[in-house]
C-alpha cells in the first residue's frame, strides 16, 4: 500500500524506479499524481502545449503489469517523462511554438531520443512549451503564450526549454527532454532551480536535423544529476537517422557518478576575465559551490579560458539558421511569426556563404583554444547566467539596454560553438528566492566528469535536495 504521506510528484526518477522494484507504488499511481499536478500548475505557469492524459495512463497500466510480473521493459519503465515541443513524439503534433505549422498529419515518427525512451518503457505525459522554433532564451510564442517561472510567476522561466524546466521544478514529471542551441536547457534550469545537461554534440542523436545545424543538442532536464545520468544512459545511443551520432559510451554514466571530484583540476572563471558583469548574489552562490568542490578534494584554480566573446560569429550562425527554418514561408505566414524571429530571419537571409564560413572559422579556433585549455584543466566552472530571472514575456531584462537574448547569456552559447558538455547545477537563490545556477564545462566526450562533479554537489548539500 502506498504511504499516504509520500508525495509521488516530488520523487526523482531513480527513487521512482526503486519504488516500483520494491512494490511501494505503481506506475499508474505515479502517473495519475503527475498528471494531476500538471493540470493544477498549467493555468499559472503554462508549461505544457499538450497533456496526454489518456495515452499516458494507458502506458502506465501496461508498465504496472510488467512490474507486477517482474519484467520491466527497461531502465525507466513507468517513469513520467515530458518532451519539448521541438522534438517528435509519435501520435502528438509537434508545432514548435508556431502558428505556421498545421496540426494535420499522421505524426507517426519518434525522434531518436523519444524512440529510446519508448523502448525503455517511459510514460509520456505531455509536450512542453517552447519559443517559436526554439529561437530565443525565454519561453513565449505566438502559439502558446508566455511560460512563467515556478518560483515567481511574474518572472520568466527562461528558454528555450522553459516549459520543460517549469514542469520538472513543479513535479509534473521527473524526466524531461529539452534542446539546447545556445543555452536552452541550461538557461531555464538556472532560472527554475533544476539540473540540466547539454551533452557533447552527437552523444544524443537528433532527427530531423536542426535548422541551426550542429549548434543544437538534445539534453536531459531533471531534478538532480543522478536522474540526468540515468536519462542519458537511455537516450545516448546511436540512431542511423543521425549521421553525426557518436558510438555508444564506454559504460553507463550512472555507474561513474560516485567517483567524485578528488584530484580533478578545476578552473574557476567568475567573469570570463572581467568580460561579464555578474550580480553579486549570483557570484557569491557560485563561489560557494566552487569552495565546496575544493573541500571535496578538487584542485581549484581561478583561471580564465582564452575566450574573446564570439557573439558576432554565433549570431551569424544562429540568424542563418532562423532564416533557413522560415525560408519556405509565404508573406501571410511570416506575419504570424514572433516579431523577433522575423527580424533575425531577415538578417540571416542577407548573410553570404563567406560570412557563414568566416563564422565557422571563429568557431573552429574557439574549439582549438578550449581544447588546449582542457589539457590543463578537467573542468571549467562559471555562473550559468550573470543574473536571476527577470520579467516574463520579455526577451531581455527591462532597462538593460540589451537588444537580443545573447546579451545576458554570455556563459552559455560559447559552448554550443565548441560542442562541449556543459551543465547547470542549482546552488541557491537570491534575496527574492529566485534560483541561481553554476555551470560545469568539460572537454568534448567528458560528459562523465560534468555528471560526477554535479552529483558530488548534490550529494553534499550545496544544491537543493531532491526527494
Tens digit of pLDDT for each residue in 191-229?
Answer: 999 999 999 999 999 999 999 999 999 999 999 999 999
pLDDT digits (tens, 9 = 90+) for 66-120: 999 999 999 999 999 999 999 999 999 999 999 999 999 899 999 999 999 999 9
Instruction: Give the CB-side neighbour count of residue 311, counting CA atoms within 13 A.
Output: 13
Q: What pLDDT score was predicted for residue 1?
A: 57
pLDDT band at 364 (very low <50, low <70, confident <90, very high): very high
**Positions marked active-site:** 84, 160, 184
Residue pair 359/313 in contact by the 8 Å Cβ criterion: yes
pTM recorded for the entire structure: 0.97
The residue extents of the domains of the chain are: 8-459
Q: 129: closest CA among 199, 261, 38, 209?
A: 38
Give the separation between CA 323 and CA 406, rounded to whole angstroms: 18
Which residue from 97, 222, 212 is spatially nearest to 160, judged by alpha carbons? 97
Instruction: Identify the pLDDT of residue 430.
Output: 98
Query: pLDDT digits over 260-311, tens only?
Result: 999 999 999 999 999 999 999 999 999 999 999 999 999 999 999 999 999 9
Q: Look at residue 130 in the predicted model and tell me its pLDDT.
A: 98
pLDDT of amino acid 466:
40
Yes or no: domain 8-459 corresponds to CATH 3.20.10.10? no
Residue 426 has pLDDT above 50, yes or no: yes
Amino acid at each position: 500500500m502506498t504511504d499516504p504521506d509520500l508525495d509521488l510528484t516530488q520523487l526523482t526518477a531513480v527513487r521512482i524506479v526503486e519504488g516500483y522494484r520494491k512494490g511501494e507504488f505503481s506506475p499508474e499511481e505515479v502517473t495519475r499524481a503527475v498528471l494531476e499536478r500538471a493540470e493544477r500548475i498549467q493555468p499559472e505557469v503554462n508549461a505544457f502545449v499538450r497533456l496526454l492524459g489518456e495515452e499516458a495512463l494507458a502506458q502506465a497500466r501496461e508498465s504496472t503489469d510488467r512490474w507486477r510480473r517482474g519484467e520491466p521493459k527497461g531502465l525507466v519503465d513507468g517513469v513520467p517523462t515530458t518532451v519539448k515541443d521541438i522534438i517528435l513524439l509519435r501520435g502528438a503534433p509537434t508545432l514548435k511554438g508556431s502558428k505556421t505549422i498545421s496540426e494535420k498529419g499522421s505524426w507517426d515518427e519518434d525522434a531518436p531520443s523519444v524512440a529510446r525512451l519508448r523502448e525503455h518503457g517511459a510514460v509520456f505525459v505531455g509536450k512542453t512549451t517552447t519559443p517559436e522554433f526554439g529561437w530565443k532564451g525565454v519561453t513565449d510564442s505566438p502559439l502558446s503564450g508566455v511560460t512563467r517561472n515556478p518560483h515567481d510567476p511574474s518572472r520568466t522561466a527562461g528558454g528555450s526549454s522553459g516549459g520543460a524546466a517549469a514542469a520538472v521544478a513543479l513535479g509534473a514529471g521527473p524526466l524531461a527532454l529539452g534542446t539546447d542551441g545556445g543555452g536552452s536547457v541550461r538557461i531555464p534550469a538556472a532560472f527554475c532551480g533544476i539540473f540540466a545537461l547539454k551533452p557533447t554534440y552527437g552523444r544524443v542523436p537528433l532527427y530531423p536535423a536542426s535548422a541551426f545545424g550542429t549548434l543544437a543538442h538534445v539534453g536531459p532536464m531533471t531534478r538532480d544529476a543522478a536522474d540526468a545520468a540515468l536519462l542519458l544512459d537511455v537516450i545516448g545511443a546511436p540512431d542511423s537517422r543521425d549521421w553525426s551520432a557518436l558510438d555508444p559510451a564506454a559504460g553507463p554514466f550512472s555507474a561513474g557518478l560516485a567517483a567524485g571530484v578528488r584530484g580533478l583540476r578545476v578552473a574557476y572563471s567568475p567573469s570570463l576575465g572581467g568580460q561579464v558583469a555578474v550580480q553579486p548574489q549570483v557570484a557569491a552562490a557560485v563561489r560557494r559551490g566552487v569552495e565546496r568542490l575544493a573541500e571535496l578534494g578538487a584542485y581549484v584554480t581561478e583561471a580564465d579560458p582564452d575566450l574573446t566573446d564570439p557573439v558576432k560569429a554565433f549570431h551569424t550562425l544562429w540568424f542563418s539558421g532562423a532564416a533557413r527554418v522560415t525560408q519556405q514561408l509565404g508573406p501571410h505566414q511570416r506575419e504570424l511569426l514572433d516579431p523577433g524571429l522575423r527580424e533575425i530571419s531577415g538578417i540571416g537571409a542577407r548573410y553570404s556563404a563567406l560570412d557563414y564560413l568566416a563564422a565557422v572559422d571563429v568557431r573552429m579556433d574557439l574549439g582549438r583554444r578550449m581544447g588546449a585549455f582542457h589539457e590543463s584543466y578537467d573542468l571549467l566552472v562559471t555562473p550559468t547566467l550573470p543574473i536571476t530571472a527577470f520579467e516574463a514575456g520579455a526577451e531581455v531584462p527591462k532597462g538593460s539596454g540589451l537588444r537580443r537574448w545573447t546579451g545576458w547569456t554570455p556563459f552559455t552559447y560559447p559552448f554550443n560553438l565548441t560542442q562541449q558538455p556543459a551543465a547547470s547545477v542549482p546552488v541557491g537563490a537570491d534575496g527574492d528566492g529566485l534560483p541561481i545556477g553554476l555551470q560545469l564545462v568539460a572537454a568534448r566526450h567528458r560528459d562523465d566528469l560534468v555528471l560526477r562533479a554535479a552529483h558530488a554537489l548534490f550529494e553534499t548539500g550545496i544544491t537543493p535536495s531532491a526527494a
